[in-house]
Structures are given as structure tokens and as C-alpha cells.
Amino acid sequence: MPNQHPTHSKAIGYLLWVFGFTGSHRFYFGKPVTGTIWFFTLGLLGIGWLIDVFLIPSMHREAAMRFRAGKVDYTVSWVLLTFFGLLGVHRMYMGKWFTGIVYLLTIGLFGVGYLYDFWTLNDQITLINASV
């Protein structure tokens, strides 16, 4: 049964699809492996990127079933990670103040932590939302 409160925005998914050759929409919907493939192959040389415009509704449904809504908003976290992730703002928003400050002082642990968060952010939020 789908989550009563959607965790991810379909509109944001389509907005990220515009930059989909980077895999951003796939990371957002919780598909880090294919997001990484899209990143390194420019959306499977554009072919996968074009096909994804039709797959976003199913990715949205899967995310609604897989992830848990709660006090931490997925979309806000993803926007903060995307634009301010090297500064740790997304971690501070999630209540992870210590690692947020570490990211701030080390530029996202020299970029490695920033990339790690692209792979794991949805699961991190789900754990926080489940503990409330």
C-alpha cells in the first residue's frame, strides 16, 4: 500500500530530469546505482535520459512505497544536499549537527562525504523518520 504522505515530489523529479544525464533524478528517487551509471555515461548517451521521462511516475510510486515520511522532508534534504552539501547544511537540517559542522570545516570531508550522501541520503532520512 503506498505511503499516505508522499515522500518525494514528482514535480521535483521532472525538474531534476532536465539534468537527468547527470543521474540526479535517479539519486532523488532512491536509485543510486543507476544514478551513478547515468552520471558516468551521460544518461546512457541520452537514450536512457529520454526514456526516463516516461519512467518517472513509476520511480515516484516506488519511492512512496519504499521510504517513510516524517519530520525530515526528503525534497528539502535533497535540495540542501545538491546546492549546499559540501557545507553540510543538509546534515544540520536532519539534526546531525556534529557531522554537519565537520562537513563545513572539511568541505564535505573533501568531497567524499558529499558523494556518500548522494548514495545514502534517502536511507538516512528514512532511519531518522522511523525513529520518531
Q: What is the pLDDT of residues 18-48, one digit of tens each?
A: 987 789 999 999 999 999 999 999 999 999 9
Closest CA to 35 of 67, 82, 94: 82
Please report which confidence band the pLDDT of residue 4 belongs to, taking 50, 70 and 90 as the band edges: low
What's the pTM value of the predicted model, to 2 decimals?
A: 0.87
For the segment 47-74, the average pLDDT, to the nearest whole number, is 95
Contact partners, residue 95, CB within 8 Å, separation at least 6: 72, 128
Q: Where are the domains of the chain?
A: 10-66, 74-130
pLDDT score of 8 more than 90: yes
- At residue 88, φ and ψ (nearest 5 deg) are 75, 15
- At residue 20, φ and ψ (nearest 5 deg) are -60, -20
pLDDT in tens, 70-115: 999 999 999 999 999 999 999 999 999 999 999 999 999 999 999 9
pLDDT score of 3 more than 60: no
